[in-house]
Amino acid sequence: MGTLTTLTDEAKIALDTLADRTSGLISPSLRLGVTGLSRAGKTVFITALVHNLIHGGRLPLFEAQKSGRIARAYLEEQPDDAVPRFQYEDHLKALIDERVWPDSTRAISELRLTIEYESASMWNRMFSGGKLSVDIVDYPGEWLLDLPLLGKTYAEFSRDSFQLAELESHRDLAADWFKVSADAEADANADEMTAQRLAKSFTEYLKAGKADERALSTLPPGRFLMPGDLDGSPALTFAPLPNLDGGKPRPGSLAAMMERRYEAYKTHVVKPFFREHIARLDRQIVLVDAMQAMNAGPSAVADLERALTEILSCFRPGSTNFLTGLVQRRISRILVAATKADHLHHESHDRLQAIVRRLVDRAVSRADFSGASVDVLAMAAVRTTREATVTQGKETLPVIIGTPLKGETINGETFDGKTETAIFPGDLPAKPDSIFEHPERVSEDPAIRFVRFRPPRLEKSAEGLTLSLPHIRLDRALQFLIGDRLA
């Protein structure tokens, strides 16, 4: 990513880092980025993490909690006043009281969770009690896919966009956009109505790729899908044009207008996002809904692998020492987590984890991750099912029991969102490479079609207290991401 920033950008990043580090000398903090493509479970992950820490949930693999060294965890005012607050209380109410999934991440948000703890080191305990503020930064993974645009000209962006749209998995979705683009002349005089028509058809193609039945992942520019407060602005009213030669477009032409708006998008949207947020992260978790991609078929799996490669190449991984760390920030730990492990029996969790490790192998091999720890995990931030076995004849099958969302179907049966059901989810392939070498075996096998479940009804203790949100390996994720800072 260093090649995509100018010396001026790096100077601004260094000043921001110095300001953060100076305040951190008095009150230690860690910035944790949480991202993933839409419906991967970012909002649920943050809500469950905070709820389990504040309410002392069961986290046996989180060493500081297991050993009783955490005195308390609580929310504080976040340090960045210009960033919207993550609405933890609203999301928690949706999960626990209403048993519905909270609204997805549509823009960047932040939450500060402060943990007071006793150090495991006798030397540190002699001087002071430990205190760490974790600034959780929630942002859409789609926005990360914009960062590679910083290194592309408008002509290169146009060429790459058309090449991507020509792939078999994209071509039918892009048909209307192809028609509108064919009628546009790059050298014609700039016209606002033409620009809006092109941008609208291009955006509709991108949105169609995000539908459940397609589950495509590589669809930049990300703000076209999640515009936030930029909706309708000229910075989002552009589109690729076909057959550009890479030369300087004629002043006043449609191509010149599109190029100017593309450059404005990079300058006013993409660069500030990178400098103000991505370049300030210390740790990162990337959530992946691999099962939705497998549900959608081989093209979606290949597209997810391509998107992960793009996303992981955007980070600034590595380690720093005390002196370099004052002006240079690097992400020292990156966790790629396959979500919704509760949709499978635990016997398949290792297989899900192996599939995601195979997905990230290419990205890790392409990017320079020296000095950074990268791990892969199968987890469920909120566990929606429990496990059991059922006997069919002489065969005993492992099943999961939960309440499928209203409208979900299995073998022609449509669920009402109220009835608890036992489901045999099937088995993932023992060898993850088989999904990539013979993906049709997965997409055509109805025995491993996954459905979505409602949040669980929380149990109460003997004293009548509501227990914390159940999970699968949230504690292991916490240990990897922040456990060393609580040692």
Instruction: Set out the domains of the chain in order of their start, with CATH numbers.
Output: 2-139+277-383+473-486 (3.40.50.300), 148-272 (no CATH), 386-448 (no CATH)
pLDDT at 321: 41
Question: Cβ-count burial of 149 within 10 angstroms (0-12 exposed, 13-18 middle, 19+ buried)?
Answer: buried
Look at the alpha carbons of 217, 334, 451, 440 in this order and tell me if their dihedral is positive or negative: positive
pLDDT of 243 strictly over 80: yes
pLDDT at 10: 57
Q: Which of 297-301, 337-341, 450-454 has the lowest mean pLDDT?
A: 297-301
Q: What is the DSSP letter of 248?
A: P
Instruction: Give me the phi and psi of 432, to 5 degrees please.
Output: -60, -30
Residues 142/227, Cβ–Cβ less than 8 Å: no
Q: Which of 12-21, 152-161, 192-201, 452-461 has the lowest mean pLDDT?
A: 12-21
Question: Which of 23-27, 111-115, 273-277 has the largest mean confidence?
Answer: 111-115
- For the stretch 5-49, pLDDT in tens is 565 665 565 556 555 545 555 578 999 999 988 788 999 999 999
C-alpha to C-alpha distance for 202 and 174, rounded to whole angstroms: 8
Mean pLDDT for the chain overall: 85
3-state secondary structure (DSSP) of residue 114: strand
Q: Which of 183-197, 233-247, 462-476 has the lowest mean pLDDT?
A: 462-476
pLDDT of 90 strictly over 80: yes
pLDDT band at 217 (very low <50, low <70, confident <90, very high): confident
Least Cα distance to 216 among 169, 264, 271 occurs for 169
C-alpha to C-alpha distance for 294 and 48, rounded to whole angstroms: 25
Least Cα distance to 202 among 230, 169, 180 occurs for 180
Residue with tokens 């990268």: 374
Question: Cβ-count burial of 233 within 10 angstroms (0-12 exposed, 13-18 middle, 19+ buried)?
Answer: middle
Residues 241/181, Cβ–Cβ less than 8 Å: yes
Residue with tokens 């910075």: 235
pLDDT of 455 strictly over 60: yes
- For the stretch 339-381, pLDDT in tens is 999 999 898 899 999 988 988 887 677 666 667 788 999 999 9
pLDDT at 117: 94
Give the count of beta carbons closer than 10 Å to the beta carbon of residue 324.
Answer: 13
3-state secondary structure (DSSP) of residue 74: strand
pLDDT at 47: 97
Contacting residues for 345 by C-beta, under 8 A, at least 6 apart:
387, 398, 399, 400, 425
C-alpha to C-alpha distance for 173 and 215, rounded to whole angstroms: 12
Tokens of 26: 């008095």
Encode 24-40: b = buried (16+ Cβ within 10 Å), e = exposed: beeeebbbbbbbbbbbb
Q: 192 or 467: which carries more pLDDT confidence?
A: 192
| Distances 118 to 62, 63, 71, 127, 349 between C-alpha atoms, Å | 14, 12, 7, 11, 34
The residue-averaged pLDDT of 182-196 equals: 95
pLDDT at 17: 53
3-state secondary structure (DSSP) of residue 302: helix
Packed helices 154-165 and 254-265: angle between N→C axes, nearest 10 degrees: 90
- For the stretch 419-453, pLDDT in tens is 999 988 877 877 777 776 654 444 445 445 678 99
pLDDT at 129: 62
pLDDT at 255: 96
pLDDT band at 154 (very low <50, low <70, confident <90, very high): very high
The residue-averaged pLDDT of 459-463 equals: 70
pLDDT of 325 strictly over 50: no
Encode 473-486: b = buried (16+ Cβ within 10 Å), e = exposed: bbbbbbbbbbbebb
pLDDT at 378: 94
One-letter amino acid for residue 212 of the chain: D
Residues 320/67, Cβ–Cβ less than 8 Å: no
pLDDT of 326 strictly over 80: no
The residue-averaged pLDDT of 250-259 equals: 96
Torsion, Cα of 176, 179, 185, 186 (10° steps): 50
pLDDT at 441: 46
pLDDT at 123: 56
pLDDT of 127 strictly over 60: no
